[in-house]
Structure 1
């Protein structure tokens, strides 16, 4: 009997994370979806039949270890896809510590902690970690400082982790999408005071294609960094 790979995915409720989960579920892979609370877990389980869920609030990374200790964790993890994220636009002069902490916790500290907690399984499987980063992690525009800082930190995390885990056979990939149509993008446009035209931006399925291609790459190679931008 062929064993299907197990993927742990954050942010599977919408946007890129949902597109990746849908692709992997459709081909029969096993999914473990992170949810911030029990209600969200039930919603994800209903949306992706057969998927398992883990409850843990990325906004409170200090409690992820405690939360996981009270749940059944997957014995094997082939892939960890970090797709969850939050954004709160404001000039540096207007950003409060609370806004900074929220974005840094969800976008950077929680991925680091979740990775730490699942590294034993990933090492055993010679698995892969995918960080869905952002163009803001490479070049940050005005009013995007907190978000850009969290994503630049995420790049640093991925780069260091890649070197650390190479001897264990764990591959690490960073994907840097441009603006992608999603509920988050709609909120960004609202914060910018600009009309939102979903047709102008990348389809989440296009980014999911990139993520799945990185996962399916034969073991003789790995994708370190890939940038995805809206077409003309």
Structure 2
């Protein structure tokens, strides 16, 4: 049973990588709804947290998303962390529509839809929305990076607009990590032919700390954007 004395936060993509680190960090003093597509990966995270419950949903399915969102009766913060990278050819001259649809559907459309569905609860609680974006949402992409960067630029625009629409009611923060030591980053770099060295990357826990910073800002303050980068220079 949820602890009613704790703030309730939904972390999408909470079963792995950055999302799992965020769920663990916030789980110390929040009730966490751990988002993921499969109970097999979500339930172990729920089990290790003091107060948590699963949020099982394929965010690419608008009807499943609406059903899952309608079951939530209280929410104080939403951390949109679920995302996918590019699989297969990433160059503009090689990638077909399915590549574009897959990335934009999860990284932009699903984020906008879930946020829309949960806004009434967040308005009622004067809550927080945190978008986990990427350095790719700031920087000029290199060869093969156009699809992912396009999604992250779109997510940044969505976040800016949402912030102004909800200003004074819901706080909206955009967090832009550089390269983070996750399985997604391993796949991205393998696809680019770069050697992978974990110590050259941010730890997921470092990104989780920035989420906590945003959520713990004093009532009159809103952290609008944060960029967190590895110290290592390639």
TM normalised by structure 2 equals 0.91
User: Retained in 1: the 8 A contact 2:39–2:54?
Assistant: no
Please state which structure has a larger fraction of its residues in helix.
1
Instruction: Name the residue aligned to 1:54.
Output: 55
Give, in whole Å, the separation in 1 of the partners of 2:62 and 2:122. Answer: 20
Query: In structure 2, do the counterparts of structure 1 residues 92 and 47 end up closer, same or farther at CA, with 3 Å as the change threshold?
Result: farther
Question: Residue 48 of structure 1: CA displacement?
Answer: 3.3
Is 1:14 paired with 2:3? no
Instruction: Name the residue aligned to 1:143.
Output: 144
Q: Which runs of 5+ in 2 are unaligned?
A: none
Map 1:78-157 to 2 at 5 A: 78-88=76-86, 90-139=90-139, 140-157=141-158
Give, in whole Å, the separation in 2 of the partners of 1:107 and 1:2. Answer: 31
User: Retained in 1: the 8 A contact 2:69–2:114?
Assistant: no
Q: Which runs of 5+ in 1 are unaligned?
A: none
TM normalised by structure 1 equals 0.91
Question: Residue 39 of structure 1: CA displacement?
Answer: 3.0
What is the count of residue pairs matched by the alignment? 227
User: Retained in 2: the 8 A contact 1:55–1:68?
Assistant: no
Give, in whole Å, the separation in 1 of the partners of 2:63 and 2:138. Answer: 27
SS of the aligned residue for 2:120 comes to helix
Residues 144-183 of structure 1 show CA distances to partners (whole Å, capped at 9, x for unaligned) of 111111111100111000111114x100000011001111
Instruction: Name the residue aligned to 1:212.
Output: 212
- Give the root-mean-square deviation of aligned CA atoms: 1.8
Moved more, 85-94 or 33-42: 33-42
Query: In structure 2, do the counterparts of structure 1 residues 153 and 61 end up closer, same or farther at CA, with 3 Å as the change threshold?
Result: farther
